[in-house]
Amino acid sequence: MMAAPNPSPHAPPRPRHVAIIMDGNGRWARQRSRPRTFGHRAGVEALRRTVEAAGDLGVPYLTVFGFSTENWTRPPDEVSALLDLLRLYVDRDLDRLVAEGVRVRVIGARDGLAADILDMIERAEARTRSNQALNLTIAFNYGGRQEIVRAARAFAEDAAAGRVEPPALTPDLFAQYLDTRDLPPLDLVIRTSGEVRLSNFLLWQAAYAEFVFLDVLWPDFDRAALAGALDEYASRERRFGAVEAV
């Protein structure tokens, strides 16, 4: 991974925090008359390319939707294959991520996860904690509504214990109870495959994010696709609910 270039004074604005809904593995495989697991393997390669490209293009925070709470309802063999791919990605790439200065975080519910999955998550986070070149967050066993419920429950527990007064609750304070408390505000959400929905991903965080929906299937996503989405972001005017300046 190359060091991010210093932006020139006239460079278009770049998002600091980009999130990607990696969609289309199954359709990509079906177009090739292959099983869905074949598409998921190709999707891992797309993730590798994207992490590399994000660093090269000057995106310091990248969050990807790796495995949702709803994915557990898929056929058991597909769930098993997805978990195996997560293991494969971490086992194969962790040394490289460490060497290239990538910090790995995993957000989502950890209750009930298999011991080896928890160990893998903790190992990846511990080994990369001091890295600063790129912040890679993987949403695993994650759902946006579930995250908000966990945050509300944690605040209620603090209030019941007298650690915080309920009237003190503000959006900024509530955000400190979310899984993303250590991340900057979300600037851009990219979804591949032509679908136009959030699918329970970063619901709170996406309140004022920009959205770019691409027809490309995730296994075909590459540096050019990411650069195009960043260019689209740069063409937008973000007003955060305010009126356009005259």
pLDDT at position 244 is 63
DSSP state letters, 31-65: HTT--HHHHHHHHHHHHHHHHHHHHHTT--EEEEE
Q: pLDDT tens, 21-41? A: 999 999 999 999 999 989 999
Look up the pTM and report it: 0.91
Containing 145, the helix (H) or strand (E) segment is: helix 144-160
Out of 56, 71, 131, 220, which one is annotated catalytic?
71
Q: pLDDT tens, 117-140? A: 999 999 999 999 999 999 999 999
| Short-list 168, 218, 231, 240, CA closest to 49 | 218
Count how many Cα atoms sit within 13 Å of the Cα of residue 134 in the half-sphere of its side chain: 26
187 is catalytic: no
Q: Is residue 11 scored above 60 in pLDDT?
A: no
Q: Is residue 9 scored above 70 in pLDDT?
A: no
Q: pLDDT tens, 54-76? A: 999 999 999 999 889 888 998 88
Evaluated on CA atoms 234, 179, 136, 87, the torsion sign reads negative
Question: Per-residue confidence at 175, pLDDT binned at 50, 70, 90?
Answer: very high
Q: Is residue 183 scored above 80 in pLDDT?
A: yes
23 is catalytic: yes
Q: Which residues are CB-neighbours of 31 under 8 A, at least 6 positions away?
A: none
> Which CATH number does the domain 17-141+184-234 belong to among 3.30.56.10, 3.40.1180.10, 1.10.357.10, 3.90.1150.10?
3.40.1180.10
pLDDT, the chain, mean: 91
Question: Per-residue confidence at 6, pLDDT binned at 50, 70, 90?
Answer: low
